[in-house]
Amino acid sequence: MASRKLLLLPGDGIGPEAMAEVRKLIAAINENFGSGFETEEGLVGGSAYDAHGAAISDADMTKAMAADAVLFGAVGGPKWDAVPYDVRPEAGLLRLRKDMQLFANLRPAICYPALAASSSLKPEVVEGLDILIVRELTGGVYFGEPKEIIDLGNGQKRGIDTQVYDTFEIERIAGVAFELARTRQNRVTSMEKRNVMKSGVLWNEVVTQAHKAKYSDVKLDHMLADAGGMQLVRWPKQFDVIVTDNLFGDMLSDVAAMLTGSLGMLPSASLGAPDAITGKRKALYEPVHGSAPDIAGQGIANPIAMIASFAMCLRYSFNMAAEADRLEAAISAVLNEGLRTKDILSAGMTEVGTAQMGDAIISKFLALSA
């Protein structure tokens, strides 16, 4: 059997609570199907800072580089608000993305039928929703230089972030979006702000050229990112695949999360380029949500985003599409039975905690696999 080495980085806040459910799931899959997943554990975020003074240690980075896939919980929290910028919890996640060259972040927003009424939008706006945001993850204003606060010497300071994109970065993320669109409804909407940003002008140009050269069978539209945000809330079903930069993708995916009922529902996959010889990609799977300090430690966090991120891991890192489909079907079935964590609770449904939700999904998954 091919190697199946996973590195688990639970992180902070609700990260470890959600990861506990995936750990149980992995154990159940190994026990029932002999899948042979080997897991290692590491620290990231505030928990790594507390242990090593860095948001991820070099030793854990080495483990991440060697793993077939990394499962990431969440990082951050008020406890670390005052730590130096370079070692703040979020820096651990950014280092993982940059060093592993995970340039393609796939954030599917699917509204499960049972949750159409849980969204803050009207059910007819969200029911049947199935869109995919493809976010560029290793460039743009997150990593552009200079990035600093300078003292102007007159009692004023200047904060500088730099938005930079090179042709190859836009080309490769556009390629991922077009390829994925071919497996779906064959439509891509590219979002930038070419009306005010030079990087937006280049983004638009490169996506248009890539389309013309290699993907003219896919329907391509362009939208200004602010209007795109509005359209996502007005009528999200007009979209199939959205491709956008690092910062717009961050914001638009939180917006998209609420279409599905809760931030606690949205999974993501962060992928690198396939290796020229082995074809294997570096990959990290993480929920879109953060460490949710407001509910951490209460056992009420929704573990579905984390579990659905593991489904993406099965699909993209281990070629286990049937198992991934079954895991998503198990999530849907448990929701159909009326089980709800607090964030997606509605009248007449049964409120459960993190562990009960995890257990229910695991037993449904095993039953569907029998």
Residue 90 within binding range of ligand IPM, rule CB under 6 A: yes
- Specify the residue, 181 or 339, whose C-beta has the smaller distance to ligand NAD: 339
Whether the CB-CB separation of 133 and 97 falls below 8 Å is answered with: no
Q: How far apart are CA 338 and CA 345, in angstroms?
A: 9
Residue 298 in marked binding region:
yes
- Of 67, 114, 288, 304, the residue at the interface with ligand IPM (CB under 6 A) is 288
Residue 294 within binding range of ligand NAD, rule CB under 6 A: yes
Residue 290 in marked binding region:
yes
Which one of 49, 112, 142, 285 is the catalytic residue? 142
Bond prior to 146 in cis (omega within 30° of 0): yes
- Specify the residue, 75 or 132, whose C-beta has the smaller distance to ligand NAD: 75
Q: How far apart are CA 265 and CA 257, in angstroms?
A: 7
Q: Where are the alpha helices (DSSP H) in 100-152?
A: 123-126
Residue 75 within binding range of ligand NAD, rule CB under 6 A: yes
CB of 352 to ligand NAD, least distance (A): 12
Residue 56 within binding range of ligand IPM, rule CB under 6 A: no
Q: Which residue in the shown chain puts its C-beta closest to ligand IPM? A: 90
Residue 21 within binding range of ligand NAD, rule CB under 6 A: no
Closest Cα to residue 283, out of 67, 118, 4, 22? 67
Catalytic-residue membership of 226: yes
Which one of 166, 217, 226, 275 is the catalytic residue? 226
Catalytic-residue membership of 142: yes
Closest Cα to residue 8, out of 20, 33, 105, 360? 20
3-state secondary structure 16-66: HHHHHHHHHHHHHHHHHHCCCCEEEECCCCHHHHHHHCCCCCHHHHHHHHH
Residue 167, number of CB atoms within 10 A of its CB:
13
Name the one residue in this structure whose structure tokens are 């064959």. 186
Q: Taking the alpha carbons of 136, 2, 367, 355 in that order, is the dihedral positive or negative?
A: negative
Number of residues that bind ligand IPM (CB under 6 A): 6
- Specify the residue, 200 or 358, whose C-beta has the smaller distance to ligand NAD: 358
Name the one residue in this structure whose structure tokens are 């990609």. 281
CB of 299 to ligand NAD, least distance (A): 11
Kindly calculate the radius of gyration of the chain based on its CA atoms and give it in whole angstroms. Answer: 20
**The entry of ligand NAD, Mn ion, ligand IPM, none that residue 358 binds, CB within 5 to 8 Å by partner kind:** none
Structure tokens at 24: 């149980």
Whether the CB-CB separation of 158 and 150 falls below 8 Å is answered with: yes
Residue 161 within binding range of ligand IPM, rule CB under 6 A: no
Residue 97 in marked binding region:
yes
- Specify the residue, 90 or 179, whose C-beta has the smaller distance to ligand IPM: 90
Residue 250 within binding range of ligand IPM, rule CB under 6 A: yes
Catalytic-residue membership of 325: no
Q: Sheet containing 269-271: give its strands across.
A: 38-41, 5-11, 69-74, 283-285, 269-271, 104-110, 130-136, 241-244, 187-192, 219-224
| Segment lying near ligand IPM (by CB under 6 A), choices 33-41, 89-97, 158-166, 233-241 | 89-97
Catalytic-residue membership of 254: yes
Structure tokens at 29: 């899959």
Cα angle value 113/259/69 (rounded, 5°): 85
Whether the CB-CB separation of 70 and 9 falls below 8 Å is answered with: yes
Residue 250 within binding range of Mn ion, rule CB under 5 A: yes
CB of 70 to ligand IPM, least distance (A): 14
- Specify the residue, 200 or 290, whose C-beta has the smaller distance to ligand IPM: 290
Binding mask 328-367 for ligand NAD (x = CB under 6 A): ---------------x------------------------
- Specify the residue, 86 or 294, whose C-beta has the smaller distance to ligand NAD: 294
Closest Cα to residue 219, out of 177, 253, 169, 168? 177
Residue 301 in marked binding region:
yes
**Catalytic amino acids?**
142, 193, 226, 250, 254
* Binding residues for ligand IPM (CB under 6 A): 90, 93-94, 250, 288, 290
* Binding residues for Mn ion (CB under 5 A): 250
- Residues that constitute the known binding site for NAD(+): 77-90, 290-302
